Structure 1
Amino acid sequence: MSDEKGAAELPSALSTEGTLIELMGIVITEASPERVVATMPVKGNVQPYGLLHGGASCVLAETLGSVGSAMHAAAYGKVAVGVDINATHHRAVREGVVTGVATPIYLGRTTTSYEVVISDDRGKRVCTARLTCQLIQAPPGA
Structure 2
Amino acid sequence: MDTESLLAAFNARNKNTLMETLDIEYVAIGDDFLTAKMPVSPKVHQPYGQLHGGATAALAETVGSAASNFFIDNKNQFINGIQLSINHIKSKREGIVYATAKNIHKGKSTHLWEVTIVDENDNLISVAKMTNIVLAKK
Q: TM-score higher than 0.5 here?
A: yes
Q: Percent identity?
A: 30
What's 1:124 paired with? 123
Aligned residue for 1:116, secondary structure, equals: strand
Q: What is the rounded CA distance, in whole Å, between the counterparts of 2:74 and 2:31 in structure 1?
A: 10
| Structure 2 letter corresponding to 1:102 | A
Cα contact 1:32–1:71 (8 A) shared by 2: no
- C-alpha RMSD of the superposition: 2.1
TM (norm. structure 2) is 0.89
Please identify runs of 4+ aligned residues in structure 1 that moved more than 3 A: none
Determine if the alignment matches structure 1 residue 102 to structure 2 residue 101.
Answer: yes
Structure with the bigger percentage of helix: 2
Unaligned 5+ residue runs, structure 1?
A: none
Q: What is the rounded CA distance, in whole Å, between the counterparts of 2:74 and 2:107 in structure 1?
A: 11
Unaligned 5+ residue runs, structure 2?
A: none
What's 1:39 paired with? 37
Post-superposition shift, 1:74?
2.4
Counting only pairs closer than 5 Å after superposition, residues 10-89 of structure 1 correspond to structure 2 as 10=9, 15-31=13-29, 34-43=32-41, 44-74=43-73, 77-89=76-88
Q: What is the rounded CA distance, in whole Å, between the counterparts of 2:8 and 2:87 in structure 1?
A: 30
Cα contact 2:10–2:26 (8 A) shared by 1: no
How many pairs does the alignment contain?
A: 135
